[in-house]
């Protein structure tokens, strides 16, 4: 097959590489500053890490689907491949923009130290762009290769991450008071 036929798969692979590189760079920068990326768990630690594993599942499912060409044997596969690639690319770009805006305030969990309230950049559109990005990447996996290996992790991820969002909202309300309340009135939770 020619390069054009593999375009959607190239977009998915390139997006995954760029996202992994951005996370590694951030981890390196946090490490150099002596700042841990692990915050206080907003809910039971087991649930938090299950949610993170479920969030990684669409990348694994997409990689397996691309590798085994599962999505190309059904009618409508070319359109699904393009739609999935665009969803994945949009989700990866949103995650990248959210990480860039959070920068050194990025934590897995709730920050233990003082951090500023982020309300600009992508946070003007969504209070939770990282979680929205995870949902978009799950949607890409569901479109590209629908089945139990993509539906199950998507449901688990959404259920856990929504609980994390609610816990984070309580935390931010306590930490930032009226500033966060005003932000909540201006900006929607997801979109």
Length of the chain: 191
pTM: 0.78
Model pLDDT, residue 4: 46
Answer yes or no: is pLDDT of 3 > 50.
Answer: no
Locate tokens 């860039």: which residue?
100
Model pLDDT, residue 17: 65
More confident residue, 40 or 143: 143
Per-range mean pLDDT, top range of 65-69, 146-150, 154-158, 164-168? 164-168
What does the domain layout of the chain look like in residue ranges?
A: 7-186
Answer yes or no: is pLDDT of 59 > 60.
Answer: yes
Q: Which residues contact 29 (CB under 8 A, 6 or more apart)?
A: 104
CATH number for the 7-186 domain, one of 2.60.40.10, 2.40.50.140, 1.10.260.40, 1.20.120.1630? 1.20.120.1630
More confident residue, 122 or 81: 122
Contact status, residue 134 vs residue 146, Cβ threshold 8 Å: no
10 Å CB burial of residue 138 (0-12, 13-18, 19+) is buried
Strand partners, 40: 110
């Amino acid at each position: 097959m020619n390069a054009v036929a593999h375009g959607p798969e190239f977009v998915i692979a390139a997006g995954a590489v760029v996202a992994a590189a951005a996370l590694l760079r951030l981890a390196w920068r946090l490490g150099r500053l002596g700042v841990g990326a692990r915050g206080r768990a907003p809910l039971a630690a087991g649930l938090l890490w299950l949610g993170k594993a479920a969030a990684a599942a669409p990348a694994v499912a997409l990689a397996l689907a691309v590798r085994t060409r599962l999505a190309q044997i059904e009618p409508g596969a070319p359109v699904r491949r393009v739609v999935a690639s665009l969803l994945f690319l949009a989700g990866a770009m949103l995650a990248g923009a959210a990480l860039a805006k959070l920068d050194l305030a990025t934590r897995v969990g709730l920050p233990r130290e003082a951090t500023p309230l982020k309300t600009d950049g992508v946070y003007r559109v969504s209070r939770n762009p990282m979680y929205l990005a995870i949902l978009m990447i799950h949607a890409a996996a569901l479109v590209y290769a629908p089945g139990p290996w993509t539906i199950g992790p998507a449901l688990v991820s959404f259920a856990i991450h929504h609980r994390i969002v609610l816990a984070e909202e309580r935390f931010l309300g306590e930490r930032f008071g009226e500033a966060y309340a005003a932000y909540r009135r201006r900006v929607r939770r997801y979109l």
